[in-house]
Every structure is written in structure tokens, then in C-alpha cells.
Amino acid sequence: MRIAILNKDRCQPRRCSHECEKYCPRVRTGDETIIFGEDGKPIISEEMCVGCGICVHKCPFEAIMIIGLPEALTEPTHRYGPNGFALYGLPIPQIGKVTGILGPNGIGKSTAVQILSGTLVPNFSEDNSNWEKVLEHYAGTALYDYFSDVVDGDIKVSQKPQYVDMIPKAFKGKTSELLDKTDERGKLPELVERLNLSHVMDRKITELSGGELQRVAIAACAAKDADFYFFDEISPYLDIYQRINTAQLIQEISEDKAVLVVEHDLAILDMLADAVHVAYGEPGGYGVITHPKGVRIAINQYLKGFLPEENVRVRPEAIKFEVHPPRVETDINTLVDYDAFSKKYGEGFGLSTDGGSLKEGEVLGIVGPNGIGKSTFVKILAGEVEPDEGKLDLDIKIAYKPQYIKADSPMQVRYFLGGLSSKFNSSYFQTEIAKPLNIERLYERMLTELSGGELQRVAIAACLCQDADMYILDEPSAHLDVEQRSMATKVIKRFAENNSKTAMVVDHDIYMIDMLSERLIVFEGEPAVYGKAHEPSSMQDGMNKFLANLDITFRRDEDTSRPRVNKKDSRLDREQKSKGEYYYHNIADE
């Protein structure tokens, strides 16, 4: 079985020669495999299509996908018309549990939530659909009772959006005004304290940082009196302490409510969810949501790229983790040595640092809580900010990707990247950066039209295409799914090694830091008061120092070697803390 997908936003029939119809073998024999609708755009008959793929390659705008489906798939749960996106399966919300969804962006998670909230009636690929057909379809299943409540109007939904940076465009008032409107459970004062929002209540929404906006959005969702809560990505812009705190809050909400969470930080999803649905398919083409699996099983299967119960391979190769921390090489050339320096902002925040050295061809991870001076540190290294004490004369050229990315200019991606460097046209850039990051399809798009994940990938490419000695990337994982994070990690690491360039990555995703870094710079202190940056250290020493401050320990999964958070005060947690092994537990025995 195959389906044909037409991206109507990409399709430009007035600017092409109808290559899809002209080169279709079945059309040449007289069949109406491809016809043109009233809007002038092609309609592809999936029954007549032989799956040759010629139209896919001939379309100048890459607007067509011909996809062979797994044999087990029958009718879709919902389809957006002929040649539109198709969703197969639905997650099952359960009262008293947190249900997770793990899968790439553009796979139908938002469609599933619209259906579960009752705002979209699943059509099972038919022209007409109603709730009676839906109830008949799900009779005898776990979803029947749920949809019965939806039909009766007994299900109220509270939803946290994925892209919190869009909130200031929809609301211009104070934070307190926004949150007061959502306080249906009388829990707002408690939520404000739990999420550390007291200091932003009198500030305008437009003045908040990404991390503050994320916590405001979580508070607004949690404050509503609903039956079904949906949290779409809670981790972007939050440090690991805030992520764990938010996960604990969501678990408390789920004690008597149904909660659905989409999350790409696997360490947080692992500790947060009770069951996980794996979503796979072709982004923008079709999506399949599997039956619920145990959290550990679901994440491990997804990392390995093979789902045994469905007999489907979702990735050609597994995502792997290093069992041992990378060894520090002594024969690597030093790019630059830097002395200790400090920076003070009036009577407010102050940063002090130890001196250190940066090696050629290495990737340094930078970890620490938000508001501790990490961005100030990299801006001083980049020459954007002058230190108060300690002279920095690095004499190196630095390319910098900021934490918060804004696309204010209506410029095509192709011209934006091409204007940064002539390397954009090189075969190395196209092969080693553009293709793995999957930004080739974005070249004709305007920067202002890109989603958060698309903009993030373009920003990473924009940083790496510049001619520099050191590359600093601030939170490159934000809004990227698991696949994209893994690929971005490979691109950054391979770029540093192949070109003998130094890269520094500030991020809160433990998995990404674990796969990417060879050494760590750990920040300590009190957020918004003072920060201390230690000299670069080994992964083992750095992670132990960082996690000791957070009072959490990690163990290695026996099957995949991925890091997993230990339950607080569990036997293993107490044992590791007593030995000072917060991260690489029993590493000598592994």
C-alpha cells in the first residue's frame, strides 16, 4: 500500500511546466493518474500510481512524496483530504497517569491532540464523518469511554503550546494579568512559587526571556481546571533543575487527571512518563502512533531504531552513547589559553571565572543553571562584552549562535546563508552540514515563515558556515526532536574534528552533552546573583561536580548505555552519592 502526499504550500503550478503530469508513465499511457483540481494543483490517484517516484524527482519545488506504507496499516484515523497528511492510531489518555509521545516533529502529534480535545472529528479517510461513526469505530476499546465523554461535553482540555516565544505576539499585558485569567483551580499562588515566577508577575509578557515564558506557559496550563492536560515540550530554555521541578509538578497533576506530554529530552521523559507511545512515519506525509509501551522499552526501541511489536525499522542505524567518558588527549594543539576574568553588572549579577585552555578540534560542553552567567561568559569570549577584570586578548575569530533566535528579516534562507560566507556554496557545506541538518528543503522559504525547529537548524548551519577559529553554540537542542538532536550532535562534532576547530556548546540536554562533549566547563553559584565558571575538566569530574550541586544521580541503562535519572533517595541514588559517583557509575567495571 502506498500514499501520495502533495505539500500545497510548496506546490506552485503557475511557476512550473506541470512536470509531475508530463513525466508520469501512467498518464502517458492514457490513464488519469494525475489530474489538476480547481485550484490548479495536481491530484494524484493513489490507486493508479505505480510508485515509480518520477514525479517526486521531477517536481522543481519538491512538493510531492510517494510513500510505501507498512503492510499492517489499514485505514487512517484521520486524513486531511486527497493527497493530504494521514494519521494512523491515537494515544490513549489515562486518568492518574502521565502518557508520553516520543517521535519526530511533523508526525501528527498536534493532530492527535486536536482529536482528543474534540476540536477535530476523525474522518477515517472518508468525506463525511461524525461522532456516531467515531463511537462505532472505537466500540469495545479503551478510547470508547473517553470519546463518549468528549461527545457529551464532559472533557475539558488545557494545552501548553510548543512555541512559547509566540505568546508575546498574542498577549501584550502583564504576566499577572495573563495568569489570573487561567486560575480556575485556585492554585496560582502555589504554582507561581513552585515555578519561581514571583519576580516576573509585574513585568510585561513582551519583556520575559524564553525560560520565563516557558514557565509562565506551564503555570497557565496547570492552573486551569481541566480533565485532560497536554504539555507540548516543557524543556526548551529550562535548565535541568527547572526541568525536573516541572516534571514533578506534572506528575502531581496526573494523580487525578489525564496528562499527555510530548518531550524530546529523553532523560526527562524517562522520569516523567508512566507509559509512552512511539510515533513514527514520514514528517509531513504520514504518522503512526503505536500502542503504549513501558517507558524504558519505548525509549530503548526508539534509540535502536527498530520496533519489534510493529516489525518496523524507524531509523537505519541506532543512536549510540559512549560508555566511558572521552579520554583527554595530551598531544592536541592548544588553540588559546585564557586568564581568569570577572564581570559585574551594577549592584546586580556578578561573574567570575577560572583561567583555562581550549584545544583544537575539541567540543567543550558548558553546563549550569539558568541565570548563572553562561551566556555572559561566551559573549565575553566572543568579544561582544568587555570584562571588568582580567584582560582577554584571544586574537581568534569567533562565530556565535545565540540562545534566542529571532527572524525579523523576510529573507530567503538561501540568500541568508549565502550572504554569511562563500562556504555556503562549497560541497563540504552541502554534504556535511546542510544535508544532515535537512535544511536543503528550506532554501526557498523565508526566515520569517520557519518554525522554531527549522529556524534552529538554519541557525546552527549559519554558525558553522562562517570562517572562524572557534564556534560557540548556545542551546542548539531547543525545539529539535530526538532525531534532529542526534544529527546536530554528529554535525557539530564531525565539523570540529575534520577542520581542527574548537566548538563550545551550552545546553541543558544531558543526552546531547553526553554524546557531544570531550570536556566540560561547569558553572556554579546563585542564579541572578553570582556565577563561577570553573576551568575545563574531564567529563567524569565535570558531571560529578555539576550533578552534586543539583543533588541528582544518573545510572547507565544496561541495554543502550543511555543516562537515566535515579529516583531520589533510592538505594542506587544513596549508594552513588556516598561514593561521589553522580554520573559515570561504576565506570571501571563497565
Q: What is the pLDDT of residue 369?
A: 86
Q: Is the pLDDT of residue 499 over 70?
A: yes
Residues 85-90, mean pLDDT to the nearest whole number: 94
CB 443 within 8 Å of CB 414: yes
Average pLDDT of the chain is: 88
Q: What is the pLDDT of residue 495?
A: 94
Q: What is the pLDDT of residue 588?
A: 41
Residues 130-144, mean pLDDT to the nearest whole number: 91
Sorting pLDDT into bands at 50, 70 and 90, what band is 201?
very high
All cell numbers assigned to 546:
555539576
- For the chain, how many helices (H) and strands (E)? 22, 27
Residues 329-333, mean pLDDT to the nearest whole number: 65
Q: Is the pLDDT of residue 139 over 60?
A: yes
Residues 87-98, mean pLDDT to the nearest whole number: 92
- Phi/psi of residue 68, nearest 5 degrees: -85, 125
- Phi/psi of residue 374, nearest 5 degrees: -65, -45
Residues 218-231, mean pLDDT to the nearest whole number: 94
Q: Is the pLDDT of residue 102 over 90?
A: yes
Alpha helices in 382-517 (DSSP H): 413-420, 427-429, 435-437, 452-464, 482-499, 510-516
Q: What is the pLDDT of residue 194?
A: 93
Minimum mean pLDDT range among 169-183, 205-219, 311-325: 311-325
Q: Is the pLDDT of residue 404 over 80?
A: no
- Phi/psi of residue 106, nearest 5 degrees: 75, 25
Over residues 28-74, the pLDDT tens digits come to 999 999 999 999 999 999 889 998 999 999 999 889 999 888 776 77
Nearest in space to 525 (alpha carbons), one of 343, 379, 358, 299: 343
- CA dist 590 and 573 (Å) reads 18
H/E segment holding residue 556: strand 554-556
Residues 476-487, mean pLDDT to the nearest whole number: 90
Domains and CATH numbers, the chain: 2-68 (3.30.70.20), 86-313 (3.40.50.300), 334-539 (3.40.50.300), 551-589 (no CATH)
Sorting pLDDT into bands at 50, 70 and 90, what band is 320?
confident
pLDDT > 70: percent of the chain: 97
Q: Is the pLDDT of residue 590 over 50?
A: no
CB 552 within 8 Å of CB 570: no
Phi-psi region of 463 (alpha: psi -120 to 50; beta: other; left: phi over 0): alpha
Over residues 525-584, the pLDDT tens digits come to 888 889 999 999 988 889 899 888 888 898 888 888 888 888 888 999 999 999 888 886
Q: Is the pLDDT of residue 321 over 90?
A: no
Sorting pLDDT into bands at 50, 70 and 90, what band is 587?
very low
Task: Give the burial class of 15: count Cβ atoms within 10 A of its Cβ; 0-12 exposed, 13-18 middle, 19 or more buried.
Answer: exposed
Q: What is the pLDDT of residue 88?
A: 94
Q: Is the pLDDT of residue 454 over 70?
A: yes
Q: What is the pLDDT of residue 246?
A: 94
pLDDT > 90: percent of the chain: 48
Residues 222-250, mean pLDDT to the nearest whole number: 91
- For residue 160, give Cα distances in angstroms to 192, 220, 261, 283, 476: 16, 8, 10, 22, 22
CB 232 within 8 Å of CB 159: yes
Residues 220-231, mean pLDDT to the nearest whole number: 94
- CA dist 555 and 584 (Å) reads 7
Q: What is the pLDDT of residue 331?
A: 63
Q: Maximum CA pair distance of the chain?
A: 79
Sorting pLDDT into bands at 50, 70 and 90, what band is 324?
low
DSSP string of 109-134, one letter each residue: HHHHHHHHHTSS---TT-S---HHHH
- Of the chain, the end-to-end C-alpha distance in Å amounts to 45
- For residue 210, give Cα distances in angstroms to 160, 205, 342: 14, 11, 25
* Amino acid (1-letter code) at residue 206: T
Those residues with Cβ within 8 angstroms of residue 529's Cβ, 6 or more apart along the chain or in another chain:
349, 350
- For residue 457, give Cα distances in angstroms to 255, 391, 454: 37, 34, 5
Q: What is the pLDDT of residue 589?
A: 41
Q: Compare 408 and 155 and report the one with higher pLDDT.
A: 155
Sorting pLDDT into bands at 50, 70 and 90, what band is 187?
very high
Minimum mean pLDDT range among 153-162, 320-329, 397-406, 540-549: 320-329
- CA dist 167 and 440 (Å) reads 29
> Going along 108-257, which residue ranges are E strands?
157-160, 228-232
CB 376 within 8 Å of CB 402: no
Over residues 18-31, the pLDDT tens digits come to 999 999 999 999 99
- CA dist 81 and 356 (Å) reads 59
Over residues 240-286, the pLDDT tens digits come to 889 989 999 999 999 999 999 999 999 899 989 999 999 999 988 99
